[in-house]
Amino acid sequence: MRSITALLVSAAALCAVATGASAAVVCNDDGDCWHVKGHHKYKPELKLHVYGDDWKWKGHKHRWREHNGHGYWHSGVWIDLG
């Protein structure tokens, strides 16, 4: 019985850690998309679209962009928000 309880406690702890980290895909109106870790708030006037990490962009006319830090792509230039 102890091993079952320990297993259930371990599984619950693992689920709590796994669901604590969030990620998303963000795209702009220019078709640039990038991956973000955590939850970022962007001003509505930036016209960015935030999708879940499991978003399937097959069939969309988007291009994947790499970046460092927190920010967004605008007209092909990375704007760093710090």
Q: Which helix (H) or strand (E) holds 71?
A: strand 71-74
pLDDT at 57 over 90: no
pTM of structure? 0.65
Token look-up 């978003």 returns: 55
Residues 24-46: tens digit of each pLDDT: 999 999 989 998 887 778 899 99
- In sequence order, the 6+-apart residues with CB closer than 8 A to the CB of 60 are none
Helix residue ranges, H only, 21-62: none
